[in-house]
């Protein structure tokens, strides 16, 4: 019983890590995507980037920890995921590297062409992961062709199915909207005004796409093979999906009223509940097989040994609270709003 509980515990912890990553890195991606639109000149663009400057690299730690936890707790899941999804995950990795380099190197030169080139790198390095993460997770939920050894037998075209593409467009728009609400909360002056305008324009299509994706996910969950694994009741998924839809709808009037803090909460709750729904629709599976349900990877046949899970649990109980405390402290320290007048010419 203890070992089974640890399997579920680590599935839950990995879900929490991905939720934290998408909530925090989501507004980083959104700011990068909005950079050409909210920054009409260099001081405005510097102000927008300064809003995420103290946080973006810390936010990416959640991705590293989520990947490491998956590798340690569920090595079969990790192996199948990173071999079958090699190309999209490789593109995400390259985009994240380019974006990180661009955020650091942009201030190393003052020529307009230098900064314009790095601004384009930030835009592309934010847009591609925002789209491809949605594609990847939609395919995990929908299922992919696996053989008896748990090996992926599809190709790139298999991953580019309509459901996955809708998932990618949903995360792209949702992260961009999340970035707009974050800039509205963190910036002042023209950058905040343009972020408000962008948020009001983005909210209706984002809500429509998110509603469609959530509804399709419920259809996929309702039609899933329910065998001996015993998936969670469909009613629980409907409740979480409803919470995501309500939060998304709430962002529209909040953006119109420029209630920046509550608008950011609304988009954040949308991301949290939407990702939670994806994981709940999976549990206890981690990689459904569309070839044969018997080939599906779950939290039992894809897990590490009980000893490994016990050791990891002790380590997590010690270090996770420390990491959470440090990150909360950093957000508190850099809580003030950013204006272009605060920036030095060399920043």
Read out DSSP for 242-259?
HHHHHHHHHHHHHHHTT-
DSSP H or E segment with residue 112: helix 112-142
pLDDT score, position 221: 77
Q: Inform me whether the pLDDT recorded for 2 exceeds 50.
A: no
DSSP at 189: T
Q: Inform me whether the pLDDT recorded for 228 exceeds 50.
A: no
Cα–chain-centroid distance for residue 29? Answer: 9
146-168: pLDDT as tens digits: 999 888 998 888 999 999 999 99
- Distinct helix (H) and strand (E) counts, the chain: 12, 2
DSSP 198-264: HHHHHHHHHHHHHHHHHHHHHHHHHTS--TTT-PPPHHHHHHHHHHHHHHHHHHHHHHHTT-HHHHH
Q: Is cis: bond before 156, omega within 30 of 0?
A: no
What number is the average pLDDT over the span 4-19? Answer: 91
Structure tokens at 310: 């016990």
Structure tokens at 39: 């920054």
Chain mean pLDDT for the chain: 89
CA gap 141, 192 in Å, rounded: 36
pLDDT score, position 326: 84
Task: Give the C-alpha distances (Å, rounded to integers) separating 125 from 37, 120, 149.
Answer: 16, 8, 35
CA gap 135, 132 in Å, rounded: 5
Task: Give the C-alpha distances (Å, rounded to integers) separating 262 from 44, 209, 221, 341.
Answer: 24, 21, 31, 26
Residues linked to residue 146 through DSSP beta bridges, in sequence order:
152
Q: Inform me whether the pLDDT recorded for 289 exceeds 80.
A: yes
Contacts of 248 (CB under 8 A, 6+ apart): 206, 207, 210, 211, 266, 267, 270
List the domains of the chain with CATH numbers: 2-332 (1.20.1630.10)
176-201: pLDDT as tens digits: 999 999 999 988 888 999 999 999 99
Give the HSE-up count for residue 10: Cα atoms under 13 Å, Cβ half-sphere. 36
pLDDT score, position 341: 62
Q: Length of the chain in residues, anyone? A: 347
Which pLDDT band holds residue 224 (cuts at 50, 70, 90)?
low
290-343: pLDDT as tens digits: 999 899 999 999 999 999 999 999 988 888 888 888 888 888 888 788 776 666
CA gap 55, 16 in Å, rounded: 19
Structure tokens at 166: 């809708």
Structure tokens at 144: 């992919």
Cβ(297)–Cβ(80) under 8 Å? Answer: yes
Coil, strand or helix at 16: helix
Structure tokens at 314: 């002790």
Percent pLDDT > 70 in the chain is 93
CA gap 76, 81 in Å, rounded: 8
Which pLDDT band holds residue 1 (cuts at 50, 70, 90)?
very low
Q: Inform me whether the pLDDT recorded for 273 exceeds 50.
A: yes
Cβ(284)–Cβ(208) under 8 Å? Answer: no
Residue whose pair of structure tokens reads 């992926």 in the numeric block:
152
Computed on alpha carbons and rounded to an integer, the radius of gyration of the chain in Å comes to: 20
Structure tokens at 146: 């696996």
Give the HSE-up count for residue 177: Cα atoms under 13 Å, Cβ half-sphere. 34
CA gap 4, 27 in Å, rounded: 36
3-state secondary structure 134-158: HHHHHHHHHCECECCCCCECCCHHH
């Amino acid at each position: 019983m203890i070992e089974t509980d640890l399997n579920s515990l680590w599935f839950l912890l990995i879900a929490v890590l991905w939720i934290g990553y998408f909530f925090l890195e989501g507004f980083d991606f959104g700011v990068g995507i909005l950079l050409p639109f909210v920054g009409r000149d260099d001081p405005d663009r510097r102000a927008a980037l300064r809003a995420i400057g103290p946080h973006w690299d810390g936010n990416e730690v959640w991705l590293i920890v989520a990947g490491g936890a998956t590798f340690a707790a569920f090595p079969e899941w990790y192996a199948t995921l990173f071999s079958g999804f090699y190309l999209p995950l490789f593109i995400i990795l390259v985009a994240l590297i380019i974006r990180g380099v661009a955020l650091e190197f942009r201030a190393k030169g003052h020529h307009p062409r230098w900064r314009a080139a790095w601004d384009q790198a930030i835009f592309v390095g934010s847009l591609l992961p925002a789209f491809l993460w949605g594609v990847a997770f939609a395919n995990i939920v929908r299922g992919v062709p696996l053989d008896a050894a748990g090996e992926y037998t599809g190709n790139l075209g298999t991953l580019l199915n309509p459901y996955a593409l809708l998932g990618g467009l949903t995360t792209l728009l949702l992260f961009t909207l999340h970035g707009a609400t974050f800039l509205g909360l963190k910036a002042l002056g023209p950058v905040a005004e343009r972020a408000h305008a962008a948020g009001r324009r983005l909210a209706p299509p984002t809500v429509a796409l998110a509603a469609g994706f959530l509804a399709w996910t419920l259809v996929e969950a309702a039609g899933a093979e329910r065998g001996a694994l015993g998936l969670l009741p469909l009613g629980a998924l409907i409740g979480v999906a409803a919470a995501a839809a309500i939060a998304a709808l709430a962002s529209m009037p909040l953006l119109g009223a420029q209630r920046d803090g509550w608008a950011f909460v609304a988009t954040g709750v949308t991301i949290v509940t939407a990702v939670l729904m994806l994981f709940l629709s999976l549990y206890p599976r981690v990689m459904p097989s569309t070839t044969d349900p018997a080939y599906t990877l779950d939290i039992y046949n894809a897990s590490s040994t009980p000893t490994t899970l016990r050791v990891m649990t002790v380590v997590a109980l010690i270090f996770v609270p420390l990491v959470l405390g440090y990150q909360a402290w950093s957000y508190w320290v850099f809580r003030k709003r950013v204006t272009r007048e605060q920036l030095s010419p060399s920043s």
